[in-house]
Structures are given as structure tokens and as C-alpha cells.
Amino acid sequence: MTADLQKGRMGPRACLLGLLALFVAGKCSYSPEPDQQRMLPPSWVSLGRADPEEELSLTFALRQQNLERLSELVQAVSDPGSSRYGKYLTLEDVAELVRPSPLTLHTVQKWLLAAGARNCHSVTTQDFLTCWLSVRQAELLLSGAEFHHYMGGPAETHVVRSPRPYRLPKALASHVDFVGGLHRFPPISTLRQRPEPQVPGTVGLHLGVTPSVIRERYNLTAQDVGSGTTNNSQACAQFLEQYFHDSDLAEFMRLFGGNFAHQATVARVVGQQGRGQAGIEASLDVEYLMSAGANISTWVYSSPGRHESQEPFLQWLLLLSNESALPHVHTVSYGDDEDSLSSAYIQRVNTELMKAAARGLTLLFASGDSGAGCWSVLGRHRFRPSFPASSPYVTTVGGTSFQNPFRVTDEVVDYISGGGFSNVFPRPSYQEEAVAQYLSSSPHLPPSSYFNASGRAYPDVAALSDGYWVVSNHVPIPWVSGTSASTPVFGGLLSLINEHRILRGLPALGFLNPRLYQKHGEGLFDVTRGCHESCLNEEVEGQGFCSGPGWDPVTGWGTPNFPALLKTLINP
């Protein structure tokens, strides 16, 4: 038990034991995640009940304070028209603002102490507490929970989860947002390797997307690389036993990095980097972040979910809340269906993303690889938005293809590019004009019953997502596709722009969306052709939204024209 937990003071011990007794009896309790979907995801199978003495690591999200003020500050530091633009908060500033009340800290700590929790660790902002308990203790603490072993996914990952909802004492209703490590199963990568397109003859044609193709299409010269003289840095995150190998990165740069200055090693790995086989997604993230954001120091956040009760994405959020000095740009290829997440969880994660925006971090998330998505509600089809792509505090990246897959041509929609409208978050003010314009002018809108027209619309931008070369486990692999590819590319180019800003004594770009929408996509190639996929039924026949002039919910404002985007974003 940490010193903080041991020294917390909160009333007579009899009250605590009484509270625990009430809880164990199942009385006066509430469920913080009543809407958490508990259907077993496809490909996961139960291996039976967990041993009562098995150790679990659970994360308790403590209720934060001053969230309205935090939202106001994010808007102020991200809006170029504000006097506070670029004056980002430090981690300590954020902690001072959102730190749970003394009553919350003491109540939760005493409750866990009485339950036998041990080896508890907090974060700088004190709004998360991760503790170890036995299965027996956890099931007593979290009434209704019943822990089972599960196996699933391509790598036959093992996790411990509860298929049943949990309840907390009502006395904790105002102190705990949710408990992590019970319900959410690891999402499966949607990255895919497509068949090679067949065209007659190959003279003068490229054979897939490589760094040189990226640099040609987006108008980068050999001089568009990091200077190596600033404290500029960028990062990507890898989850679910996905690892990169240094040798793969070195081979990738040897094959494809000969015409621009670059770094061939990762500067820092945060977390545990496994020794197993490299994952294609992790290899792709690192290789294209470091070739687009060439010669810039790169970190990799590795949250493999080694312990079966951990949630890797949640672990990444905790890392952000515990480090004062972080890279300016973070790219993440991760997402879940909004409807598969509890309201408590999705709102709290959104707050964590808001905290990052307040600190001036640029977070880019892949928009997903299922187009508009599709699900059935009471027998009626609807599109299925993805989170965190739908968060109003991240920049979401969609995907495009070359009009001619073997030539560096104009881009069209990649039919898998995720996009749509959130069913959880209302449309933020920064995109009001752009989205209203699309909804009023698009000639190809799906039926209104399929989407929430008043929700946060995404993506915000796009980049090529089709036909990449990746080196993984010493093998060059062609035709890898997904928004997991477009996201690190766009992130790397933003890192190059940060390099110019830092050299001029300007702050890093920070949360990009308010500026991006104010500029109406200036500096981006507008993608106006193509639609993405959706429900395969008679009403929409597999077609979701379509791109058009200006912003659209398939490719956002478009893809980067680097010199023009640099000119747009270099000014204060």
C-alpha cells in the first residue's frame, strides 16, 4: 500500500467497516457503467472462472474537479484569436485544476484499504488509482462482478474480464467514475493487406506507397526534415502485444530512406517493449511516423497489456497523466465502436483527451477502417461511429487512395475510410460552419435516420491509406492498407511544421482543430471524389457518406500539401 493510502484520514474505522459491510451485502449500491455492453465480442471464448487467489490489477477513475474551467482553457489556448493562444498548461497546472477533492481521495483510499487493496499507485494528477487485489477481494469489492479467463484475437491473447456488471456503494457515487479492467476487451486491428491492383505494363509506375511516394505526392523536398537541433519530438502508441523491431526500422530506412536525412532508431520506448514477433501495425506506425517526420526524435509508447486484467489504452492515458515533458505530436491507431463503451468510460476518456489538449499536445487518431460502420437498433439500421475518433478534442485522420493506384495522381476516397457523426458528443463550435455547409449542400446524403446530424463530425483531415510497403520481421510486405497508415504520415508532417515553429521561438501547434477549421482547410488538397462503405441493405446499398468540396465526413478537409500547410500554420 502506498504512503498516500496509508496516511489518508477519514472518520472512525467503524464507519468504514460499516460501509464495506453494506456494500458486500449488495445494499445501497449503484452501477457506474450500467450501459456497458457485455456481449462477448466475436472470436473471444471463455476459459472458465478465474482462481479466487489470482491477482488482478484494477484502475479506479476518481471524480475530477473544475472540468468546465478546463474546457474553457482548452478553447483559449487553442484559438489563434485568443490572447491565451499557445500559452499551454503544464502537467502541474492541470493537476491543480482537476485533482479530486480531499473528500474523494480520502473516501476512495479508505474504502480500498478496508478491502485489502495493495501496491496502489496514483498519477501526478491524482485522478487515477491502480491497485492490486485478489479475484476474491475484487468480487467482494465490486458487487456483481464475476471474473473469467478469456482468449481471443489473432494472437490468441489472454485476458481476465467480468461478463457481469459491477456495483459500487452509493456512498462512492460522487467519487468514482468507473473501474478499469472489468469489461472492455482489446479491439482487434483492422489493418489489412489488399490484393495488388492489376494494370497492364509498369513502365514509369510506382509499385506501392513508400516514403518517396509520400514525399512526392505531398510536395516535400529533401530539405523538409528535422534539424536535429531542437527539443522537438513525436510519438506513436502501440497496444495488444504489438511491437516494432529496431532491425526492421533500420532495414526499412535502408530500403526506402535513401533520399532524405532520417533517424534509424527510436529515441525512447515508454513502457514494456516485448521480444516476440513484430506486429505489422506497430512496424507501420514507427516506420511512417519517422519517415514523414524525418530526422525528428521519436518515442514509442508500448502498452501491451501484459497483465491479463489491464486495459492497454487506459494504461497509455495514465502514462500521459504522469509525465511532465512529452512529445508534441502523438499518433494513435486505436478505436472502439461508441456503442460498445459505457457512458461513464467514454466521457472520462474524453476528459483525459481534453487534459492533453490543454497541455498543447496534438493527438491524432485514426478514423477507422469500416467506413460509416453499421449496426442494427431494434431492427433498424444505423451507422456506427468510432471513439476516440469522435472525440471533439482530437484530430481525426481519414484515408484516401490514388486515383490510379500505380501513379502519383490526385487522390480519391479510400472506401474503408472511417467517418460520420458521434451519437455521444455534440457538434463542437469550431466545426459548426463547415458541417452545416456539408449537410445543406451534399447531393448524396444518406437517410437522416442513419446518423446524428447534430453530433461531432469526423474525420478532420486525411492522407493516403492504401497500398503501403512495410518491413516487419525482416520481410518487406506490400499493399498494407488502413487509416493506421494515414495517421502517422499526417502526424509526421505536423512534427515538421512544429520544427519550424520552435526554431522561430513559437509554441508547438497544440490542439489543431480550432485553427484548422478557421482556415477552412487552407494548405490541404481537397478530395472531392468517392464515397465510403456502410450498411449492406436495400436502403443504402453499402454506401455511406460521399466526399465533396470543402469539409466532408469521409476525408475531412483533405490531404496535406506540405509547403502550403507549412505557410498556413507557421504564423503565430
Task: Look at 57-61, 149-153, 374-378, 528-532 and tell me which has the smallest mean pLDDT.
Answer: 149-153
pLDDT of residue 456: 98
| Residue 527 predicted with pLDDT over 50 | yes
Structural domain includes residue 71: no
Across the range 298-308, mean pLDDT stands at 72
Residue type, 469: W
- Provide the pLDDT for residue 205: 62
Catalytic residue among 248, 285, 308, 466: 285
Q: Which residue of the set 78, 143, 283, 484 is catalytic?
A: 484
Quick one: 326 and 274 in the same domain?
A: yes
Domain containing 524 — which CATH number?
3.40.50.200
C-alpha grid cell, residue 513: 482543430
Q: Kindly state the average pLDDT of the residues 113-123.
A: 94
> Which pLDDT band holds residue 243 (cuts at 50, 70, 90)?
confident
Same domain? For 176 and 254 the reply is: no
140-144 contacts at long range (C-beta below 8 A, 24 or more positions apart): 140/24, 140/115, 141/23, 141/112, 141/115, 141/117, 142/166, 142/167, 142/168, 142/179, 142/182, 143/23, 143/24, 143/26, 143/29, 143/167, 143/168, 144/26, 144/31
* Whether the Cβ atoms of residue 417 and residue 400 lie closer than 8 Å to each other: yes
Nearest to 341 by CA among 570, 37, 568: 37
What residue ranges in 498-563 does DSSP mark as E strands?
524-525, 531-533, 543-546, 559-560
Query: What is the pLDDT confidence band of residue 189, given thresholds at 50, 70 and 90?
Result: low
Is 372 within the bounds of a domain? yes
Sequence-distant (6+) residues with CB within 8 A of 570 are 497, 500, 501, 504, 506
The C-alpha angle with vertex 159 and arms to 176 and 363, in degrees rounded to 5, equals: 60
Clarify whether residues 221 and 171 are in a common domain: no
Given a contact cutoff of 8 angstroms between Cβ atoms, the answer to whether 459 and 389 are in contact is yes
Q: Which of 165, 287, 180, 188 minimizes the C-alpha distance to 241?
A: 188
**Domain end (from 180, 201, 224):** 180
Could you list the residue range(s) of the whole structural domain that residue 156 is in?
33-64+99-180
- Per the annotation, does 93 bind a ligand? no
Per DSSP, the three-state class of 319 is helix
Q: Is residue 234 part of a domain?
A: yes
Domain match, 244 and 171 both: no
Higher pLDDT, 182 or 538: 538
Mean pLDDT of the chain: 88
Answer whether residue 312 is part of any domain: yes
Judge whether 186 lies within some domain. Answer: no
User: Is 527 labelled a binding residue?
Assistant: yes
pLDDT of residue 311: 76
pLDDT at 408 over 80: yes
399 is in an annotated binding site: no
At residue 4, does pLDDT exceed 70?
no
Alpha-carbon distance 306 to 310, whole Å?
Answer: 7
pLDDT (0 to 100) of residue 16: 43
- 414 among known catalytic residues: no
User: Which of the four pLDDT bands, split at 50, 70 and 90, describes residue 567?
Assistant: very high
In terms of DSSP bridges, do strands 461-464 and 468-472 run parallel, antiparallel, or are they unpaired?
unpaired
Per-range mean pLDDT, top range of 147-156, 305-314, 447-456:
447-456
SS3 content of the chain, % helix, strand, coil (to 5): 30, 25, 45
Residue 369 is a catalytic residue: no
Query: For residue 41, what is the enclosing H or E element?
Result: none
Among residues 177, 224, 251, 281, the one annotated as catalytic is 281
Q: Is residue 15 part of a domain?
A: no
Residue at 90 is within a domain: no
Same-domain status, 275 and 221: yes
373 & 477 share domain = yes
pLDDT at 276: 72
What total of structural domains would you count in the chain? Answer: 2
pLDDT at residue 248 greater than cutoff 90: yes
* Residue whose entry in the numeric block shows the C-alpha cell 493506384: 405
Q: Are residues 234 and 108 in the same domain?
A: no
Q: What is each CA distance from 172 to 26, 114, 165, 265, in whole angstroms?
A: 14, 14, 16, 47
Q: Same structural domain for residues 154 and 291?
A: no
Query: Is there a single domain that holds both residue 176 and residue 224?
Result: no
Copy the grid coordinates of residue 67. Answer: 472540468
Neighbours of 550 (CB within 10 A): 18
Label residue 11 by pLDDT band (50, 70, 90). Answer: very low
Is the model more confident about 28 or about 381? 381
In the residue annotation, 281 being an active-site residue is answered as: yes
Does residue 192 lie within any of the structural domains? Answer: no
